[in-house]
Amino acid sequence: MELKEAIGNRRSMRFLLPHKPVEREKIQKMLEAARLSSFWGNVQALKAVVVERATAPQEVIDAIPPGSAIGGFQFGLAPVLIIWYLDWSMLDVQGDRLHELTDAGAAGVDKEGSHRYLDSNLIPFFKAAMPSIREGGITEMDCGQGIAQATLVAYEEGLGTCLLGLPAQKKLRRAINLPEDTKILVVQTVGYPAESPDAGGQRPRQPFEEKYFLNSCDESFPRDPEVVEGLKRDKMIQAQAPLPWRFDELEYLSKALGIPPLFGEETESITVEMMAEMSESE
């Protein structure tokens, strides 16, 4: 699959084949892509724990959440889960990362002078600003860039993925021995798709003109119809969902995989368990 088609197909694959394992080399390619992604100050605070259902200790399997009201079945189907987390301690050694950039010729022209300036000016500035940086969102955003690159690689490798939030994290954090100063960002289910690559078509999105603007929020960014047609030819914009056969496919998948047919049917039991964990004292 070409990269442009992978971008066009970048939608959640919620239905995965539970019996088909994912080769470790494909997971490694995803992690390599995330590792090489851009990150402010080169701090590289995005890390991950890969959970293989076939090899993980029972304690870890038992700590995998039952899901959420928008698709609890995904956690139970995926042969691999990637727990992406932010390691805040990486910000404490950001100065070392900046010196690495200077040595690599990626920051500054005068190498020795740049090292001195980092120590005397720039690194103290960043240290003083660190509380604001933690609250500003740029670190989470750059983690998201890495996860996005990993997701594109997954699609190129023929895999399906879905990113799931995790409101209740205590049980899973304990099971995987997650360090203290960390934050679970998202859990990514990974496996081979049980549904068609089209996943029922292009899902609803807000109009382009209501999302993007030129020079101020009073003027929409002009959308060129020829550009749109070119994106459709490249399969980056696909036919609008639902495709004619989609609901027949969903009915089949529900029966084949034992998935509740009603959206959010598992809400009550999941909510009770989630609230109990969230209220649990440390």
**Please, what are the domains in the chain?**
3-92+133-197+238-272 (3.40.109.10)
| Element spanning 86, H or E | strand 80-87
Rounded Cα gap, residues 265 and 69, in angstroms: 7
User: Structure pTM?
Assistant: 0.88
Please check the confidence at residue 254 and state whether its pLDDT lies above 60: yes
Q: What are the beta bridge partners of residue 160?
A: 191
As a whole number of angstroms, the distance between CA 67 and CA 79 comes to 15
Distance between CA atoms of 264 and 68, rounded to whole angstroms? Answer: 8
Which of 7-16, 78-87, 158-167, 250-259 has the highest average model confidence (pLDDT)? Answer: 78-87
| 39-48, 72-81, 150-159, range with the lowest pLDDT | 72-81
Beta bridge partners of 215: none
Measured between alpha carbons, how far is residue 175 from residues 52, 58, 80, 111, 194 in Å? 14, 10, 16, 45, 29
Mean pLDDT of the chain: 88
Residue 2 confidence class, pLDDT cut points 50, 70, 90: low
Q: Report which residue type is found at 20.
A: K
